[in-house]
A and B are shown apart, each in its own frame.
Chain A
Amino acid sequence: MVWHAGLCVLLMAGALVSVAGASALDLLTIALAVAQALLALGSGAAAALILQRNHLGRTLSLVINYVLFLACLIGLAHVLGLFMGLDDLADYMARGVPFLMGALFIVGYFVAATELRERPVSAARRTLGRVLMAIGAIGFALTAGVVPALASIPGKYASSGLLPPALTAGAVVLGYMLWSMWRGESARAMGAKNIHSERLNGWLFLSPNLLGFTLFFAGPLLFSLYVSFTNWDSFNKRDWVGLDNYRRVFNLTVQPLETPDQPANQAIDVQVYDELFRVNLLGQGYLIGAEDKRFWISLRNTLVFGLLAVPLSVVPALLLATLLNSRLPGMRIYRTLYFIPSVAAVVGVALIWQWMYNSQVGWINYFITSAVNFINSVFGTNIKDPQIRWLADSDYALLSVVIMSAWQWLGFNTVLFLAGLQTIPRELYEAATVDGANPRQQFFNVTLPMLTPTTLYVLITTTIQALQVFDQVFIVSNGTGGPGTSTLTMTLNLYQNGFQSFRQGYASALAWVLFVVIFAFTLFQFRRQRRASGAYDM
């Protein structure tokens, strides 16, 4: 009780100091102060409830001590450079891999020998295994830099001022308080029942995921929402601009044209707007201008990409899965082959396709040219070689990326459909056969309805993937979204704003607009699917 009363005072003082000591009150300072104040209030409530021997006091105490204990540990790790060190260590890990693999191989051998032969391993072999494992471990530690890195910790600890000892002391005290309140004696003293302990156990098991979600997903998500209301450039002060970023995203103007070819600068304020497109309605021409033309172009490109790439990677995947579901010899090999593009790195795939798409020395045009020449020579026709400039012509560039992406996503979708197909009971097909249904009828009346959950999952994940397309266009257009703006997608546009033009605030606004677009599409698909399939309970 005394501990929580003291903690309450300490945290409340911390909150006040945070606010008073800040040179400028921004949302982060306020959020930190609010968090401290909430913990202080929780701690005060815990003290009061513990005084009344209420088990809720114990629960509150455990939560607060646990959160603060973790905060101290993470803070200590940060001060000692743990997170940067992990990154550094990763660079040197490869050097120790041979030793590690050697040790693992030996361990694997001895374990396998024990289990497979079902007889005890001789003492000599076990000793030999241990010695080899020790050599492997030492070799790994030396080559990966573990030993000298460990040796440098005390120096780092000593040279970082008072913070590491303070955080260590905090972690020890909080750990002790956590343990003392967790004990069975404390639970009984506070009147906690088994069900309370079980609930706490459940939350404890969930806590790594919950904390990870809060720190690394929900936190950044909320931060980006906050940033979208500022003009933050990553470096300097964040000024609150309210909805201005969103206003700029959606700011359009529609002006009637006196003549169809009237220059844009005579119809709209070109200091603010750029011409987006012209349209003729009932004989009257209109010019539509946008403050951020690239947003609308990227939205159009993204939607077109989605409309083409999703069917192209879902429908063939379903057909392919149906074929691969047959029990013909060699099917496992085909299943593996079709899955390979899904596990290949996007960058590698994009670079290979970039070469294949080259209009002069690429394989695709080579085959087209060969086919055209063959047809002309055999049939005496005069078909002209199209010499398609796949990635250099704005009419084809997006289509090229669609083909490439669909090819890559096809394998994964096929595997999902295959898994779905294998869960359909054979009895249904047997019954359909008895009823006289032909294979086509079986496919449309048995397979497709039974695949509804899988189809929904495949459609939603592929749509999300398509609306977030980035890697492929980044590689094939060298990050420009070209030729022209033909491959500028929403994620590429927000990337350009955030990381090339230093407009993190505006880029965050674009990210939230993209989120809304994806959410709307997903919701639409859910509702449509639910309407189409009464059997599937959403």
Chain B
Amino acid sequence: MKTTYRLIGLMAIAGLTLAACAAPVAPPAQPAQPAQPAQPAATEAPAAPAEISLRWRTRPDNKEEADVYASISDEVAQKLGIKLTYEPGGSETASYQDVLRTELAAGTAPDVFWIPGTDIADFVQRGLLLDLRPYASATEGYSDSNYYPEPMFHLTYNPATGKTGEVLWGLPRDVSTFVLYLNLDLINEAGAPDPRELAKEGKWDWAAFKEVAEKVNALGGDIKGYGMNAWWGPFGAFMNAAGGGFFNAERTACSLNSKESLEGLAFARSLYDAGVAVPYGEDSEPPFRAGKVGMFQNGRWATPGISTVTFNWDVVELPKGPSGHMGNWLFWGAYVVNKNTKHPEAAWKVVNALTQPDIQAKVAARGTNIPSRVGEAVFAEFLKILPEKNNQAFLNGLADKPTAEGPLWTGSWPDFDKAMGAKVSDVLTGKLSVEDFGKTICDEAGKAFNK
């Protein structure tokens, strides 16, 4: 018996070891698909065109969205006649971008992947992305103008010549923008004016916003009038709304110390000083979902989660600042192609297919994203999407001169963000005055340029 066990054990080990040499089989749901040779890296070539096998990755916000992407993957694969494997990326412990960068360094990154807009310049300048312009030019019906112009500016920017339109680094997956998620029950209970009505009347500005926040906050206990999360987007919107911003117009220098930027930051600080905001640095979504925050500033990606709350909720566009604009962001990310892919044309076709209106509509139907294509028909379709809350508020945000989430072509965004984020955190938690922030911030954050 012992010999038998040893034999079985040895066979099992040998079998598993040998099996590890090959690729995994298809999932049970697709028994018809045969096992394919391993395609670990984007650098391996298939034996014949019929065996084109590509991997692609994007970051879903939840399991349901990952399932949508997986089904879209099958649809695109069938349409293009290739094998296409979808890999959801990002988890609590593995940052999407960090893992992707590591895989790019190791040569095991997927052929097609999504990256946020802030990373485009870094990836391009390190030679990690394929220029898709030759393939796009040969594609019938393709036009840069099908998409929002702000992301396309960066996606067609050639750092070698400083001109746009010459190259194409990818196509935007979707766009998003900030709104204020409203707890209507709290606002009514506080007797505060309805922000949606104020917005319709053109009276939705910083003063009105602060008034609503203060009235809700006056309900007492652990109720807060307003909440935002601790990253560059929320406080940046205040700076933008005041007419300032992170960079100068050419995005070649720091402008965090401009009068307007400081005004925006001072307004944000005043919300914390007055105690009407959820403490900066704490996730504002849990207390909002627990019904303890009147207004929560976040993007479209928060909609599916918030749609499950039990109180009456809606959204309103951001209030207008001293500049007369909301100062909103146009958040975006793009599908790009690994420069080392062995199937560049097929990879382009995948990117193009993933950004077609029908595919974008399926993703947008989850409620997380706004299609990156422009046009009345697209907008009309978006307005029908569940959860049938005030979707127009998102489109209003996108229409009011938003600032595109953008890469730094002449500097390092991660370095800029680190220097800025730490200092702004000190300001909004009361450790540093706005004045002192203004005196030193561009000395520190400015070092990120020309790195």
**Chain A residues at the B interface, C-beta cutoff of 8 Å:** 77, 80-89, 91-92, 95, 107, 114, 126, 130, 133, 137, 141, 143-153, 155-156, 159, 233-236, 263-265, 270-271, 274-275, 293-294, 347, 351, 354-355, 358-361, 389, 391-394, 397, 471, 474-475, 478-485, 495-496, 499-502
The 7 closest A-B pairs by CB, nearest first: A392-B281, A84-B40, A148-B35, A145-B25, A149-B22, A234-B105, A81-B38
A133 touches B8 (CB 8 A): yes
Residue pair A351, B98 in contact (C-beta under 8 Å): no
- From residue B91, how far is it (CB to closest CB) to chain A in Å? 9
**Residue of B whose beta carbon sits closest to that of A91:** B24
Known: A146-B15, A148-B34, A361-B292. 13 other contacts (CB 8 A): A85-B40, A151-B22, A156-B21, A235-B104, A235-B126, A264-B440, A264-B443, A270-B443, A354-B283, A360-B278, A394-B431, A474-B93, A501-B414
Chain A residue numbers with a CB within 8 Å of B34 are 148
How near does chain A come to B276, taking the closest CB pair, in angstroms? 13
Min CB gap A255→B, angstroms: 14
B residues less than 8 Å from A355 (CB atoms): 286
Chain B neighbourhood of A482, CB < 8 A: 230, 281, 421-422, 425
B421: contacting residue among A156, A347, A393, A480, CB under 8 A: A480
Establish whether residues B422 and A485, one from each chain, have CB atoms under 8 Å apart when the complex forms. Answer: yes
CB-contacts of B24-41 with A (<8 A): 24-25, 28, 34-38, 40-41
CB distance from A28 to the nearest CB of B (A): 15
B40 closest partner in A (C-beta):
A84
List 5 A–B pairs whose Cβ atoms lie within 8 Å, in order of A's numbering.
A89-B20, A144-B19, A146-B16, A397-B281, A481-B422
Contact pattern, B 95-117, Cβ under 8 Å of A = 1, otherwise 0 = 10110011011001000000000
Instruction: Report whether A484 and B422 are in contact in the complex, using a CB–CB cutoff of 8 Å.
Output: yes
Q: Which residues of A contact B283 (CB under 8 A)?
A: 354, 358
Write out the residue numbers on chain A whose beta carbons fall within 8 Å of the beta carbon of B422.
480-482, 484-485
Instruction: Across the interface, name the chain B residue whose C-beta is closest to A274.
Output: B444
**Minimum CB distance partner of A152 in chain B:** B22
Contacts of A153 in B (CB 8 A): 18, 21-22
**Contact A392-B35, Cβ < 8 Å, known A85-B23, A359-B282, A360-B292:** no
A354 smallest CB distance to B (angstroms): 8
Closest to B92 in A: A347
User: Is there an interface contact between A360 and B222, defined as CB atoms closer than 8 Å?
Assistant: yes
Closest to A275 in B: B440
- 0/1 string, B418-430, CB within 8 A of A gives 1: 1001110110010
B440 touches A81 (CB 8 A): no
Q: Is the CB of B20 within 8 A of A294?
A: no
Contact at A358–B414, with CB atoms within 8 Å? no
Quick check: is B415 within 8 A (CB to CB) of the other chain? yes
Which of the listed residues B38, B412, B439, B443 has the most CB atoms from chain A within 10 Å of its own CB?
Answer: B38
CB distance from B168 to the nearest CB of A (A): 21
The CA-CA distance from A389 to B282 in the complex, in Å, is 8
| Count of A-B residue pairs with CB < 8 Å | 207
Q: Are B429 and A145 in contact (CB under 8 A)?
A: no
B47 close to chain A: CB less than 8 A: yes
Determine which residue in B21, B23, B41, B447 has the highest number of CB atoms from chain A within 10 A of its CB, and name it.
B21
- Give, as a whole number of angstroms, the nearest-CB distance from A361 to chain B: 5
Q: How far is A394 from B427 in the complex, measured between Cα atoms in Å?
A: 11
Distance from A422 Cβ to chain B, minimum over Cβ atoms (Å): 36
Separation in Å of the B290 CB from the closest CB of chain A? Answer: 5
What residues make up the interface of B, taking CB atoms closer than 8 Å to A? 1, 4-5, 8, 12, 15-25, 28, 34-38, 40-41, 47, 92-93, 95, 97-98, 101-102, 104-105, 108, 122, 126-128, 222, 224, 230-231, 278-283, 286-287, 290, 292, 412, 414-415, 418, 421-423, 425-426, 429, 431, 439-440, 443-444, 447
A77 to B122, CA, bound (A): 35
Whether the Cβ atoms of A156 and B38 lie closer than 8 Å is yes
**Which residue of chain B is the closest to A345 with respect to CB atoms?**
B93
Q: A151-B35, A152-B35, A501-B414 are in contact. Are A392 and B21 (CB under 8 A)?
A: no
Please tell me if the beta carbons of B23 and A88 are within 8 angstroms of each other in the complex. yes
Contact B15 A141 (CB under 8 A): yes
Q: Which residue of chain B is the closest to A477 with respect to CB atoms?
A: B281
CB-CB under 8 A from A88, the residues of chain B are 20, 23-24, 38, 40
User: Smallest CB-CB separation from A475: which chain B residue?
Assistant: B92
Closest to B16 in A: A146
Which residue of B is nearest A392, CB measured? B281
- Contact assessment for B21 and A80 in the assembled complex, using a CB-CB cutoff below 8 Å: yes
Q: Are B28 and A84 in contact (CB under 8 A)?
A: no
Contact of A265 with B443 in the complex, beta carbons under 8 Å: yes
**A148 and B25 contact, CB distance less than 8 A:** yes
A159 and B443 within 8 A (CB): no
Q: Which residues of chain B are near A84, meaning CB under 8 Å? A: 38, 40-41, 108
Tell whether, in the assembled complex, residue A149 and residue B19 are in contact, meaning their CB atoms are under 8 Å apart: yes
Residue in A271, A391, A392 whose Cβ sees the most chain B Cβ within 10 Å: A392
Given contacts A85-B22, A156-B21, A393-B281, contact A361 B5 (CB under 8 A): no
Q: Complex formed: what's the CA distance from A91 to B27 in Å?
A: 10
Question: Which one of B35, B443, B444 contacts A149 once the chains associate, using CB atoms below 8 Å?
Answer: B35
Nearest-CB distance from A216 to chain B (Å)?
15
Given A145-B35, A156-B37, verify A392-B414 contact (CB < 8 Å).
no
A342 to B199 CA separation, bound complex (whole angstroms)? 53
Most B CB contacts (10 A, CB to CB) among A126, A148, A355, A496 go to A148
B418:A496 contact, CB within 8 angstroms: yes
Q: Pick the residue among A89, A152, A271, A502 that contacts B122 (CB under 8 A).
A: A502
Beyond A137-B8, A361-B292, A475-B92, whether A496 also contacts B414 by CB under 8 A is yes
Instruction: List the A side residues contacting B97 at CB < 8 Å.
Output: 500
Point out the residues of chain B lying under 8 angstroms from A151, CB to CB: 22, 35
Q: Assess the B439–A263 pair: CB atoms within 8 A.
A: yes
Question: Measured between C-beta atoms, what is the minimum distance from A487 to chain B in Å?
Answer: 10
Interfacial chain A residues near B431, Cβ < 8 Å: 394, 484
Residue among B16, B97, B127 facing the most chain A CB atoms (10 A cut-off): B16
> Once the chains bind, are A499 and B101 in contact (CB under 8 Å)?
yes
Check A351 against B19 for contact (C-beta < 8 Å). Answer: no
B98 proximity list for chain A (CB < 8 A): 495, 499-500
A506 to B12, CA, bound (A): 45
Shortest Cβ distance from A182 into chain B, in angstroms?
22
B286 engages A361 (CB within 8 Å):
yes
**Alpha-carbon separation in the docked complex, A234 to B109 (Å):** 13
* CB-based contact B230/A483 at 8 Å: yes
Q: Do B20 and A85 touch across chains, with their CB atoms under 8 A apart?
A: yes
- Interface pair B281/A483, CB less than 8 Å apart: yes
Q: A59 CA to B47 CA in the complex, in Å?
A: 45
Distance (whole angstroms) from the CB of B88 to the closest CB of chain A: 12
If A82-B21, A274-B443 touch, whether A483 touches B102 (CB-CB below 8 Å) is: no
A408 to chain B, nearest CB (A): 16
B5 to chain A, nearest CB (A): 7
Q: How far is the CA of A85 from the CA of B128 in the complex (A)?
A: 25
Q: Could you tell me the distance in whole angstroms from the C-beta of B390 to the nearest C-beta in chain A?
A: 26
Is A85 a contact of B92 with CB atoms below 8 Å?
Answer: no
Query: How far is B282's CA from A478's CA once the two chains are assembled, in angstroms?
Result: 11
Give chain B nearest CB distance to A74 CB in angstroms: 13
Question: Contacts of B41 on A, CB cut-off 8 Å?
Answer: 84
How far, in whole Å, are A48 and B265 apart by their CA atoms in the complex?
Answer: 79
CB distance B12 to A152 under 8 Å? no
In the complex, A33→B65 CA distance in Å?
A: 51
In the complex formed, the residue of B with least CB distance to A495 is B98
